[in-house]
Amino acid sequence: MTDTVKALARGAAMIAASLLAAVFLTYLMQQYSIRILDERFKWSNEIVGIIFVCLLFFWGPLLIRKWLSHGAEFIAAGLLAAVFVVFLLQIFSRYVLKMPFGWTLELCLILWVWLVFFGCAFVVRQRDQVTFDVLYFALPKPVRMVFGILTCVCIVAAFVWALVPTWDYVDWMKMRKTATVRNPLDGAKIPLRTIFMVFMIFMIAVIARFIQRTIEIVRAGPDVDLVELETAEMIAEEEARQS
């Protein structure tokens, strides 16, 4: 019972710390925009929410991380299924009904944008990325460690530098709306700000992911060659079998 209470208290503390960190990071973004860009970063509850969810996704309690991971996979699968259904509906309306629905093409594009950036933010793992690492794995381990840290730091720095200007442009897109797709609840056209908000989710998730990756490299060392590792394991099993 005591262990359960301690685990719940630890989880609640991590959630509270993530929320406070999200608010503080949004405040830092506001100060950065004023002092560096000479622009006033508009406080956004959406940005606070995105940072909060990303912090929980990468550093939250284990149970919440599992829930968020499964939820992200479910959302990505739902988006892919929606793209497939809308695409079939477009074909049906064009070639069977002879009256193509104009909104299907735009909706396919919107769903595809969300699928790509949301999936890359939360579903695609680091080892799933296409990499050209022949020269990287040919280097000694200390050099690989330095290169790995420098790569992560450069990616984080580039995305942090571009975050506020990107949000400024995405927020400006609220003046423009979709051409044919409408909100099914009120029938109004959807602001493009809502559609391209997924790119802000992607940027913040990439920053959090590569900060986490930097910490992993410092703690556990650089990546290992999975092919070489599997080959070594196969050789070891074969030697054990022969002996």
- In the chain, how many domains are there? 1
Q: Which ranges of 96-173 does DSSP label H, i.e. alpha helix? A: 103-122, 134-138, 141-172
In the chain the first and final C-alpha atoms are separated, in Å, by 49
User: pLDDT tens for residues 36-51?
Assistant: 555 555 667 788 888 8
User: pLDDT tens for residues 113-140?
Assistant: 999 999 999 998 877 777 777 777 777 8
User: pLDDT tens for residues 8-22?
Assistant: 777 788 778 787 888
**Predicted confidence band at 33 (pLDDT cuts at 50, 70, 90)?**
low
Phi-psi region of 185 (alpha: psi -120 to 50; beta: other; left: phi over 0): alpha
Whether residue 227 has pLDDT greater than 60: no
User: pLDDT tens for residues 67-102?
Assistant: 999 999 999 999 999 999 999 999 998 888 888 888
Q: Which residue has the higher pLDDT, 236 or 96?
A: 96
Tokens of 194: 């809502």
pLDDT-above-70 percentage for the chain: 85
Angle subtended by helix axes 192-220 and 141-172, to nearest 10: 160
Range of the domain at 130: 2-242
pLDDT-above-90 percentage for the chain: 28
pLDDT, averaged across the chain = 82
pLDDT of residue 21: 83
Which distant-in-sequence residues (6+ apart) come within 8 Å of 197 by Cβ?
46, 170
**Predicted confidence band at 107 (pLDDT cuts at 50, 70, 90)?**
very high
23 near 48, Cβ under 8 Å? yes
**Predicted confidence band at 202 (pLDDT cuts at 50, 70, 90)?**
very high
63 near 11, Cβ under 8 Å? yes
